[in-house]
Structure 1
Amino acid sequence: MAKSKKKPNKKPPKKSTMSSNQSSKWIFWVIGIFSVCVLGLIFLGNFSGKEKEQEQEAAINYENQPYLGEESAPVQIVEFGDYKCPVCKDFNESFFPQIEKELIETGKVKFYFMNDPFINVDSERSALFAEAVYQELGNDAFWKFHERLYEKQPEDVKYEKVDLYTPSFLESTLKEIASEGEVSKVVKAFEENNAKNALDQDLSYVEKLGVTGTPTLFINGKQFEGRTFDDFKEMVKKAAKEKSGDE
């Protein structure tokens, strides 16, 4: 009887312990590197976000700008406005009094006004005249004139209509809060275009911060996008905490 051919007794090759260990180490390092990369991206994202916010704050130079409030107030608010804008008039008659009473007079904020005269030549003319008032007569006179301009804005103002805010109108408005001599100084500065650099500076902030309409508000360099006064107060409170480092 024929014998069946015996198959050689071959043992399966033994896996190298070193190769197994190397594979485990390789997987460990891949996972580790991936985790570090993810954490790095998160860190960089947060850092970039904070850096962007810091750059935005640094974009506003508050020196030589008219303001209301105490010098030591921790929060700085900027309103970008147009004297011919009816929404700005409404803001100054309804929203601003709440800011003044609860935040400015209590020493919590400093409130600045910057020009964004986007409607037409009346807007630019009134902005230049108001800047001349600030330069020649100082902060208090500026805010009195500022308030009068909004009070005297026609109720039925039309954006396309010009020559409402004429030099004679602006001069007569200033006469309501200033002496003849003071008015003459401002008119001279206005006619010599001495306030152009100040207005140009405001417009540079409009461009840097991406202001697209008026009124637009910034709280410590961050744009307010809420809807209510409670939203506004909450953002001010948060800004004060961030300023003090109490996150």
Structure 2
Amino acid sequence: MTASPTASPSSPSRRTRLARLARRTRRKTYAAGALLLAAVATAAFALTLDGSDDDRDPGARGDTSVESAAVPGPAPADESLLALARRDASDALAVGRADAPVVMIEYSDFQCPFCGRFARETKPELLRHYVDKGILRIEWRNFPVFGEESRQAALAGWAAGRQKKFWEFHDVVYAEPRERNSGEFSADRLAAMAREAGVPDLAKFRSDMASDQAREAVEKDQDEGFGLGVSSTPAFLVNGKPILGAQPTDTFKDAVEAAAR
């Protein structure tokens, strides 16, 4: 009688067990965050659905982005949410000092109109008042929710970051409202945006955009957001405390100043 061979470290069964363990670990890590964000999301969708569709473009009905959301009162930040800040000084998709006292994590989609509103109206104020003064760090997370063009735009943003041009690309994309899933984010249009953003090597940009590394980076950001219970864009964590939707600029200023105390 022949004994069953021991599974090698690279065998399919062992890889499957390790994958299951990793998923269980992620669920435990994000459990508290998911509960917290779920409570905020409930209020957000209640406000968004309460007659607000009448004032929006009919083509945007069913939008998973959030224009306005209730913000919870002061509460202790959850340690597992604070730990999501990467604070990597080499992170091309972050701006601000790695040791800034406040970190805002932003989950956004380049096709989301409310993400665009935040980028045009609020982010410049935060950069001027807090990032430039060393108080705030902003860390971008790709969270494409509107289909293939959103995913391609996320890959393109990551590729621009490989040449230290992510934020320039970000500003070009969000410079004006763009019609969703209409070809605005085709491969050629994304390359044109990269050129406008000053990405020097467009051949490398295209290669990086199509790479497994780009896909894995975007999926990592998405998994993080899904693990937290994020279901709409934009969504933010300011030192572990959630804000959903394109809130007024003062809401973000208040949150940053409260976290910096």
What TM-score does the superposition give when structure 1 sets the normalisation length?
0.67
**How many residues matched?**
185
- Name 1:57's counterpart in structure 2: 82
Looking at both structures, which has the greater relative contact order when contacts are Cα pairs under 8 Å and sequence separation is at least 6?
A: 2
1:203 to 209, 218, 222: 222
Structure 2: 5+ residue stretches without partners: 1-35, 37-74
Quick one: structure 1 residues 195 and 238, their matched pair in 2 at CA, closer, same or farther if it must change by over 3 Å?
same
2:102 to 47, 63, 75: 75
2:171 to 119, 131, 147: 147
Does residue 1:230 correspond to 2:250, yes or no? yes
Q: CA deviation at 1:208?
A: 2.0
Quick one: structure 1 residues 90 and 200, their matched pair in 2 at CA, closer, same or farther if it must change by over 3 Å?
same
Larger Rg: 1
Q: CA deviation at 1:205?
A: 1.4
Q: RMSD over aligned Cα, in angstroms?
A: 2.4
2:259 to 231, 239, 244: 239
Quick one: structure 1 residues 105 and 60, their matched pair in 2 at CA, closer, same or farther if it must change by over 3 Å?
closer
CA distance in 2, matches of 1:152, 1:175: 17
- Name 1:127's counterpart in structure 2: 154
Q: CA deviation at 1:144?
A: 0.3
1:137 to 163, 180, 192: 163
For the 8 Å contact 1:219–1:239, the answer to whether it is kept is yes
Quick one: structure 1 residues 131 and 225, their matched pair in 2 at CA, closer, same or farther if it must change by over 3 Å?
closer
Equivalent position SS for 2:236 = strand
Q: CA deviation at 1:224?
A: 2.2
CA distance in 2, matches of 1:228, 1:86: 15
Q: CA deviation at 1:167?
A: 0.6
Q: Deviations over 1:119-141 (max 9, x none)?
A: 1111000001111121x202xx1
Quick one: structure 1 residues 229 and 217, their matched pair in 2 at CA, closer, same or farther if it must change by over 3 Å?
same
Deviates more, 1:118-127 or 1:88-97: 88-97
Quick one: structure 1 residues 176 and 83, their matched pair in 2 at CA, closer, same or farther if it must change by over 3 Å?
same
For the 8 Å contact 1:103–1:109, the answer to whether it is kept is yes
Match runs of 1:80-229 below 5 Å: 80-134=107-161, 136-138=162-164, 141-154=165-178, 157-158=179-180, 161-178=181-198, 182-224=201-243, 227-229=247-249
Q: Deviations over 1:99-128 (max 9, x none)?
A: 111111121100111111001111000001
Q: CA deviation at 1:234?
A: 2.6
Equivalent position SS for 1:230 = helix
Structure 1: 5+ residue stretches without partners: 1-48, 242-247
CA distance in 1, matches of 2:222, 2:160: 18
| Structure with the larger helix share | 1
Equivalent position SS for 2:82 = helix
Structure 2 letter corresponding to 1:169: R
Q: CA deviation at 1:89?
A: 1.0
Ranges of 4+ aligned residues in structure 1 off by more than 6 Å: 49-52
Structure 2 letter corresponding to 1:53: D
Q: CA deviation at 1:90?
A: 1.1
Equivalent position SS for 1:231 = helix
For the 8 Å contact 1:65–1:112, the answer to whether it is kept is no
Structure 1 letter corresponding to 2:126: I
Q: CA deviation at 1:70?
A: 2.4
Equivalent position SS for 1:169 = helix
For the 8 Å contact 2:108–2:140, the answer to whether it is kept is yes
